[in-house]
Structure 1
């Protein structure tokens, strides 16, 4: 998954302003206690990060 697709899905799910907040502030167990931004910076693939987001939040089925 490309980062552009990842961020498009984040924005569709959470809205543009809130997606940034979720990525910066929400620590996820599925990402070993990291935020989305930390996981991406550490080299975790966008697809794996998106799966963690889907597991953590009630993501719309069409975006999964």
Structure 2
């Protein structure tokens, strides 16, 4: 997942305003007790940050690939 895809997925799932609050304020244990923004700046892959954010906010696993997108092949 590219950073731009992460940003789009956050906006699609949470809305731009709430997504900005979540990524800057919510501390995610799955990425070392950092916010999403801190984790991204520290070099944590965007996909790992996205999954951590989804887990922390109870997004169903079926939407972890990004709202409204075709699930990518494995």
TM-score in terms of structure 1 length? 0.88
TM-score in terms of structure 2 length? 0.78
Q: CA RMSD in A?
A: 1.3
Gaps of 5+ in 1: none
1:20 equivalent in structure 2: 20
2:59 equivalent in structure 1: 59
Give the number of the structure whose residues are more often strand, by fraction: 2
The total of aligned residue pairs comes to 64
With 50-59 and 15-24 compared, the bigger mean Cα shift is at 50-59
Computing the radius of gyration from Cα coordinates, the structure with the larger value is 2
Give the number of the structure whose residues are more often helix, by fraction: 1
